[in-house]
Amino acid sequence: MIMPSITLKSTMHLACALATGLFLNAAHSQPSNPTPTTEQIIQSLEKSGALDRAIDRGIERYRQKQINAAQAKQQKEEAQKAAMAKNARPVDANKDFIYGKPDAVISIIEYSDFECPFCKQFGEIPNKVVDSMPDQVNLVWRNFPLSFHDPMATKEAVATVCAAQQSGNAAFWKYADSIFKTTRSNGQGMPSANGVDPLLALAKEQGLNVEKFDICLRSEAVAKQVSDDLEDGLNAGISGTPGVILVNHKTGAFNVLAGAVPEDVLKQEVKNLLKNKK
C-alpha cells in the first residue's frame, strides 16, 4: 500500500524535529559548535538509516490502521445484513416453492431473477447442495425480478407461478429450470418460434393447459404473489441477485451470502450453520 504524501511528510517532519532537538541540545552544551541546518539533519538521518526506519514505522502504522478500519466496517455490515435477514418471512410449504424436504433444519432462501446472468450461473448449485445433504437442507425460491430486466423478468416469474398452480411444486421447478436453460438473459428472454409467445410454448411443451396458462399470465393475484416475494426480499436487505439467506430453523440463526458463491462454499456455509448452537 502506498502511503499518502501527507503522512510521509508528517513522519519526516517528526523525525527532523526530534533530530533537531538532539542537535540543538548538543549545540547548547558545546557552544563552539554551530547550529546544524535542516539539510544537514536530514543527511545525518539518511546516513544512519533512522529516517528510513521512522518512515517504515509510519507506513506500517497507517497500513494497519486501514486494515483494522476495513475489518471493522466489514463486521458491522455483516451484522447489519444478518439483522435484516431476520425480516424474511418464515418458510411456508403452503406458500413457498421448496426443493427438498420441507422440514429440513436448514433452508437456503434464494431471491432470484430469471433474467439475471449471475442467477443463471448459480443455477443448479443450491439444488446440488440439497441433493448431497437431503436430510439437512432444502432450497426455498422467492422471485426477485429486477426492474432493469423487466418486463421479461416479471413475466417469467409469473409464468413459473402459473405452472405451479396447474401442476404443483414439481412443475414450478421444471418450468423454472427450462427458463434458465433457454433464456438469453439480461431482459432478452427466451427466443420465440413462429411468433408464438415462448412462455406459452414452454407451457405446452411441458403438458400444461395453454388456455388456462394464458389467463393465469394476466392474473392480478399471481402478479401480487411475485411482488410480495420482491417486497419480502427488500425487507430482508436483498439488493441484488442472486440474494441468498441461510436460516437454521432450530436455532433461529441466519447467515447472508454474497451472490453466486461456488458449490463448495455454499455447502460449507450450510455445515457451519448446522453447527450453530445459538
Residue 90 maps to a domain = no
pLDDT at 54: 79
Output the CA–CA distances (angstroms, integers) from residue 275 to 71, 248, 271, in the order listed: 24, 10, 6
Task: Give the side-chain half-sphere CA count within 13 A for 4.
Answer: 5
- Quick: pLDDT tens for 165-223: 999 999 999 999 999 999 999 999 999 988 899 999 999 999 999 999 999 999 999 99
Q: Where is the domain boundary, 18, 51, 79?
A: 79
The 3-class secondary structure across 145-207, one letter per residue, is CCHHHCCHHHHHHHHHHHHHHHHCHHHHHHHHHHHHHHCCCCCCCCCCECCECHHHHHHHHCC
Q: How far apart are CA 176 and CA 193, in angstroms?
A: 19
pLDDT at 241: 96
| Spans in the chain with pLDDT lower than 50 | 1-8, 11, 14-15, 18-19, 22-24, 26-27, 29
Q: Which three cell numbers stand for residue 62?
A: 497507517
Residues 203 and 66 in one domain: no
Residue 91 maps to a domain = no
pTM of the model: 0.74
Residues 126 and 24 in one domain: no
pLDDT at 5: 44
Q: Is the peptide bond before 242 cis (omega within 30 degrees of 0)?
A: yes
Residue with cell 463448495: 264
pLDDT at 161: 98
Residues 9 and 129 in one domain: no
Residues 139 and 233 in one domain: yes
Residues 166 and 256 in one domain: yes
Residues 230 and 131 in one domain: yes
For the chain, how many structural domains are there in total? 2
CA 99, 103, 108, 114 dihedral sign is: positive
162 and 213 Cβ atoms separated by less than 8 Å? yes
Strands annotated E in 2-152: 97-99, 106-112, 137-143
Residues 57 and 15 in one domain: yes
Residue 144 maps to a domain = yes
Residue 164 maps to a domain = yes
Residue 25 maps to a domain = yes
Q: How far apart are CA 14 and CA 4, in angstroms?
A: 16
Residue 254 maps to a domain = yes
Any idea what the Cα angle at residue 97 is, between residues 121 and 110, rounded to 5°? 40
Residue 73 maps to a domain = yes
Task: Give the side-chain half-sphere CA count within 13 A for 107.
Answer: 28
Residue 232: CATH number of its domain? 3.40.30.10
Residue 88 maps to a domain = no
Q: 54: which residues sit within 8 A by CB, 6+ positions away?
A: 11, 12, 14, 15, 45
Domain of 216 in residue numbering reads as 97-275
Residues 38 and 103 in one domain: no
Q: 7: which residues sit within 8 A by CB, 6+ positions away?
A: 58, 59, 62
Residues 109 and 237 in one domain: yes
Task: Give the side-chain half-sphere CA count within 13 A for 101.
Answer: 12
pLDDT at 77: 63
Residues 55 and 127 in one domain: no
Residues 138 and 238 in one domain: yes
Residues 146 and 41 in one domain: no
Residue 57, Ramachandran bin (φ over 0: left; ψ between -120 and 50: alpha; else beta): alpha
